[in-house]
Amino acid sequence: MSLYLDWLKEQNMSLFTDFYELTMCASYFDNNKLDLATFDLFIRRLPENRSYLLFAGLEQVLLYLKTVKFTEEHLVYLKKQGFNQQFLDYLKDFKFTGDVWAVPEGTVAFPCEPLIRVTAPIIEAQLVETFLLNTVNLQTMIATKASHVVNAAKGKSVIEFGLRREHGIDAGLKVARNSYIAGCQGTSNVLAGFLYGIPVFGTMAHSFIMSYKREIDAFRAFARTFPNKSTILIDTYDNYEGVEKAAIVAKELEKKGFKLNGVRLDSGDLIEVSKKVRKLLDDKGLQYVKIFASGDLDEFEIEELLTNDAKIDAFGVGTKMGTSADKPFVDVIYKLCETKGEQGKFSPIMKLSEGKTTLPGRKQVYRLTDENGNYSKDVIALANEKVNGDPLLIKVMEKGEIVIDLPSIEEIRTVVAENLAKLPKKYKKLTKSEAYTVELSRELKNLIKALRKTLRKSI
């Protein structure tokens, strides 16, 4: 965490923003519009084949809000972009001073529920939009996708292997972080291991095998270096010839008092191959040698493998999870829901465009549980309304200072596990999952009705 903080500071993430945030802010400033406003960050709809969201990325949001500032170099650049000196002087002293409420990281969430609620002078609240959307989009998308993959694996280990196809350096780190939070056992990304303490895994590539004249020479060389923890890739030439050679090396290791950890399958019909390989190993008394599978896997492929009783102990999942390949974004948005008016009173704001309606006013989300403590439904209500259930949004920042202890990655992982344990099975199937109920409270509905009438007139 502190490393990430250092990095943000050095990188001056203030300019990591859409240009229009700055032009809007310049105009707010120029027109002396400095009042408080509240924005909701939420996700409009579930991506196909996801039955819930895992909210993630709050830590990076809070560290960004705490550190965002403009350097002299930035201001020189912005001056060249045509901003006037008064606004640049304002930016020179810019600091985020707002209050932030948010759902704890790792919480199961649903569309339209405010996940982060920012109340700040409108310039501050507007300027931070792009960073918040960017980091929540990536992290929630990956945590959600990885969680569905982990569900499909039904308790068998999943390792995140997608670094080579993830979208750059930051994505590589965040994919590792969020797939671990979601329940993966680890990652291939060594930098993520170093920075976040996530367990790292990996063995060998085909090139390693091919660099030796004979396959068994490659196996022996590797086992010599890692006698305690070799997992041998057996498909370079032929899975069945490969496993025979792996078995020879396993027996050689046994004589030296070591055990081969496993074999890895990376191609072919994994159902059939895994069964045959398991039998070949078992017949030689190598029941302890695990079978690890990789190669173009995702949640559907894993479900198919396990439904067909594939003999696989752990899965390496790469590109499809690490890029959320079937849907590489979530519909995360950040919408104005109230502004402080002339009389110092907050007025609720609502967008009416077809299919893009937003929920007005400052809100809270309540989660109701059944007699067993399982989640039964959520209610989105006004913040000051009295509603049954546990409020999901908690105050995380006050006047620009973080007011919670940031949870460790292990603690967030525990939040995920606890949340998912309380979400009934019918809501977490891979396909045709039942839709979880999210209602609007009576007062919120009344507010919407009232606003629809006045808004139609006042434009």
Q: Is 140 a binder of a second copy (CB under 8 A)?
A: no
Q: Give the β-pairing of 390-391 and 363-369.
A: antiparallel
* Region near a second copy per CB under 8 A, out of 113-121, 123-131, 250-258, 418-426: 123-131
Tokens 């406003």 label which residue? 37
Strand partners, 378: 367, 438
Q: In 3D, which of 298, 309, 296 has the Cα closest to residue 267? A: 296
Question: Looking only at residues 174 through 203 of this chain, which bind a second copy when binding is defined by CB under 8 A?
Answer: 174, 188-191, 193-194, 200-203
Residue 100, SS3 per DSSP: strand
* CA angle at 444 for the pair 440 and 446, rounded to the nearest 5°: 115
Q: How far is the CB of 433 from a second copy (least distance, A)?
A: 23
Question: Looking only at residues 211 through 250 of this chain, which bind a second copy when binding is defined by CB under 8 A?
Answer: 211, 213-215, 221-222, 224-226, 229, 235-238, 241
Q: Is 161 a binder of a second copy (CB under 8 A)?
A: yes
Contact 428, 420 (CB under 8 A): yes
Nearer to a second copy among residue 156 and residue 206 (C-beta): 206
Q: Is 17 a binder of a second copy (CB under 8 A)?
A: yes
Question: Looking only at residues 64 through 83 of this chain, which bind a second copy when binding is defined by CB under 8 A?
Answer: 74, 77, 81-82
Q: In 3D, which of 384, 357, 352, 351 has the Cα closest to residue 112? A: 357
Nearer to a second copy among residue 335 and residue 413 (C-beta): 335
Task: Using alpha carbons, list the distances in angstroms from residue 161 to 142, 185, 218, 450.
Answer: 13, 11, 22, 51
Q: Is 27 a binder of a second copy (CB under 8 A)?
A: yes
Q: Is 39 a binder of a second copy (CB under 8 A)?
A: yes
Nearer to a second copy among residue 80 and residue 386 (C-beta): 80
Nearer to a second copy among residue 119 and residue 137 (C-beta): 137
Q: Is the dihedral of CA 107, 404, 400, 198 positive or negative?
A: negative
Residue 350-369 contact track with a second copy, rule CB under 8 A, x = bound = -xxxx-x-------------
Q: Is 45 a binder of a second copy (CB under 8 A)?
A: no
Q: Give the β-pairing of 157-160 and 290-293.
A: unpaired
Q: Is 7 a binder of a second copy (CB under 8 A)?
A: yes
* Region near a second copy per CB under 8 A, out of 270-278, 327-335, 369-377, 384-392: 327-335
Residue 81-120 contact track with a second copy, rule CB under 8 A, x = bound = xx--------------------------------------
- Residue selected from 129, 298, 301, 303 as contacting a second copy according to rule CB under 8 A: 129
Contact 172, 189 (CB under 8 A): yes
As a residue count, the chain comes to 459
Phi (first) and psi of residue 27, to 5 degrees: -75, -40
Nearer to a second copy among residue 19 and residue 288 (C-beta): 19
CA dist., res. 59 & res. 397, Å (int): 11
